[in-house]
Amino acid sequence: MQPNDDAFGPGYFTGLYGVIPSQTWADRSRDDLISRLVAQHDGPARGLPLLDLGCGYGYLLQRFHGRYQLFGADISPHAVQVAASRLPDATFTTADAEQSLPFPMLFQVILLVNVLEHLAHPARAVDRLHAALRPGGLCLVHLPTINNPLNRIYYRYSYAKDSTHVFRPSGAQVTRLFEGGGFELLKDSYAPHSPTRLWRALKPFPPFVGVYRRRP
């Protein structure tokens, strides 16, 4: 998949955000969760570099303003253009998650939200993430997963309608992928995420979040 792929042009993001771009309640709730998890596992803000890989229009990235040096990347030049206009203090570029990331520094945090399911070779992306993170740095991953017959049905009538979803793992498979790529799992949860133990046991809905730390 290349950065100028027409599948992720303006029409794709209109489908995500609407004709007048905005986030849904579900998107805002997800971003609330991601922001809390970063604060929980990375500690006080220290002004270190944070990358939102697959940044879209930059809604999630803007939540970290004043806490990190902000960087965003997306396969879509259209998304990068819109995000850069919204967040002039951040640095943006087009990038493919399966290829080397075009930034000179190592990141303290990388966010990979609703990206992994679009990748034909997700293990390549995990290798790139490992190479782009500082030892001990965090990678937060969110994507729809298939874990049992109930959420397989839910997936079929919702996420499966997006033809760009080519990687359809279970949450456990995502963790094995990251552990095999040099990460350790710090926390995982399944929608609606709280109470964590209940929904981890039942797994009724596809959305999964994993917090992984890069091993030295």
Residue 21: the pLDDT is 63
Residue 115 belongs to a domain: yes
Residue 114: the pLDDT is 96
Residue 7: the pLDDT is 67
Q: Which two tokens stand for residue 198?
A: 């209940």
Residue 102: the pLDDT is 86
Residue 90 belongs to a domain: yes
Number of structural domains (the chain) is 1
Residue 67 belongs to a domain: yes
Residue 15: the pLDDT is 62
Residue 20 belongs to a domain: yes
Q: Which two tokens stand for residue 88?
A: 């002039």
For the entire predicted model, the pTM comes to 0.91
Cβ atoms of residues 135 and 215 within 8 Å: yes
Among the listed residues 42, 52, 31, the one whose alpha carbon sits nearest the alpha carbon of residue 132: 52
Residue 1 belongs to a domain: no
Residue 129: the pLDDT is 96
Q: Which residues of the chain have pLDDT under 70?
A: 1-7, 9-22
Residue 82: the pLDDT is 95
Residue 3: the pLDDT is 43
Q: What is the CATH number of the domain that holds 67?
A: 3.40.50.150
Residue 46: the pLDDT is 80
Residue 152: the pLDDT is 94
Residue 170 belongs to a domain: yes
SS3 state of residue 160: helix
Residue 169 belongs to a domain: yes
Q: Within a 10 A sphere around the Cβ of 1, how many other Cβ atoms?
A: 17
Q: Which domain does 111 fall in, by range?
A: 6-49+59-136+145-194+202-214
Residue 65 belongs to a domain: yes
Q: What share of the chain is helix, strand, coil (3-state, %, to 5)?
A: 40, 25, 35
Q: Which residues pair with 208 in a beta bridge?
A: 143, 190
Residue 4: the pLDDT is 43
d(CA 89, CA 68): 11
